[in-house]
Amino acid sequence: MEVGQPSNNNLKMEDNIDDNYFWKGVKDCIPTIFGYLSLGFTCGVVSKSCGLTFSEAIGMSAFVYGGSSQFIAASMIMSSASIPSIILTIFLVNIRHLFLSASIAPYFKKNSFFKNLFIGALLTDETFVVASSEGMNKKRLNNSWMIGLNITAYINWSVATGIGVILGNLIPDYKTLGLDFALTAMFIGLLISSIKGNVNINKAVIIIITSIITLIMSIQVVSPSVGVIIAAVTGALIGVVIKE
């Protein structure tokens, strides 16, 4: 069922997972899989280096499920930061997901609260980019497609993190392998794929320029890490405001 169709028959189809759309969502997630594997692997290695056990690292991937926030948390743990400050920082980093969810929420306004809660809980920057591109091109998003996309990303992230923790002892310094660039590389790839062939390229350019300007201005008065958070939230807000 494609959300936005008023037919009662279509609405009844929302109660079940459409296998065709589900597997299409899985397929559409494939381009991001290698990014998830490399980034998740790096996250596992970093988690291991800061002293987290296998279960703790997997638990963080399962419940926090945020690459940028997990990297920052690992860095803060290594610097012996207090638990309240770590929790607050993770909250500030992940708050952008509220805006990301709000941006695609109109596509799922016919869904129940719990269905939307499930979609929102597994939404990441990467799946948001894929979903936004799909929505802009087809003017609608399917519930089963979104579930397939989210679950594929979630499983890949958790598995990759676990592999990173297991093999972490074999990598004395992950920076020597360039793994510290994984996060940046993945977002660059997503940015290019989302803009390519997008009729709303002007909006994408506005968001990018706004985020860059915000980052440059922010790091003049706050730390670079905080500046990144401010720029990310600003970009998400601009995306919601200028969305059709």
Backbone φ and ψ of 5, nearest 5°: -85, 125
pTM above 0.95, yes or no: no
Which pLDDT belongs to residue 50? 82
- Quick one: 172 and 221 in the same domain? no
Which pLDDT belongs to residue 43? 85
Q: Classify residue 129: in a domain, yes or no.
A: yes
Domain total of the chain: 2
Strand partners, 142: 2
Residue 123's SS3 state is coil
Q: Classify residue 13: in a domain, yes or no.
A: no
The angle that helices 182-195 and 19-49 make with each other, rounded to 10 degrees, is: 150
- Quick one: 103 and 170 in the same domain? yes
Q: CB of 181 within 8 A of CB of 189?
A: no
- Quick one: 108 and 221 in the same domain? no
Radius of gyration in angstroms for the set of CA atoms belonging to the chain, rounded to a whole number: 19
Q: Classify residue 132: in a domain, yes or no.
A: yes
* Cα-Cα end-to-end distance for the chain: 22
176, 198, 220 — which closes off a domain? 198
In this structure, the number of other CB atoms found within 10 A of the CB of residue 69 comes to 20
**Sequence-separated (6 or more) residues with CB below 8 Å from residue 205:** none
Which of 215, 41, 29, 238 lies closest to 128 in space, CA to CA?
Answer: 29
Which pLDDT belongs to residue 218? 78
- Quick one: 131 and 223 in the same domain? no
Q: Classify residue 91: in a domain, yes or no.
A: yes
> Which domain covers residue 208, as residue numbers?
200-244
- Quick one: 208 and 181 in the same domain? no
Give pLDDT tens digits for 59-78: 999 988 888 788 878 878 88
Which pLDDT belongs to residue 5? 41
Which residue intervals of 50-82 are DSSP H helices?
54-63, 67-78
Which tokens hold the place of 54?
A: 């296998």
- Quick one: 220 and 192 in the same domain? no
Q: Classify residue 9: in a domain, yes or no.
A: no
Q: Classify residue 12: in a domain, yes or no.
A: no
Give pLDDT tens digits for 184-197: 555 555 455 555 54
Task: For the chain, list residues with pLDDT below 70.
Answer: 1-17, 171-201, 222-229, 232-233, 236-237, 239-244
- Quick one: 209 and 149 in the same domain? no
* Distance, CA of 160 to CA of 126 (rounded, Å): 16
* Distance, CA of 46 to CA of 52 (rounded, Å): 9
Which pLDDT belongs to residue 158? 92
Which pLDDT belongs to residue 172? 61
Which tokens hold the place of 12?
A: 């009844």
Residue 220's SS3 state is coil
Q: Classify residue 10: in a domain, yes or no.
A: no
Kindly tell me the sign of the dihedral angle through the C-alpha atoms of 64, 182, 164, 156. positive
Which pLDDT belongs to residue 181? 56
- Quick one: 137 and 240 in the same domain? no
- Quick one: 216 and 102 in the same domain? no
- Quick one: 56 and 143 in the same domain? yes
- Quick one: 91 and 209 in the same domain? no
Q: Classify residue 6: in a domain, yes or no.
A: no
Which pLDDT belongs to residue 20? 87
Which of 89, 71, 101 lies closest to 183 in space, CA to CA?
Answer: 71
Which pLDDT belongs to residue 233? 66
- Quick one: 186 and 216 in the same domain? no
The angle that helices 67-78 and 54-63 make with each other, rounded to 10 degrees, is: 140
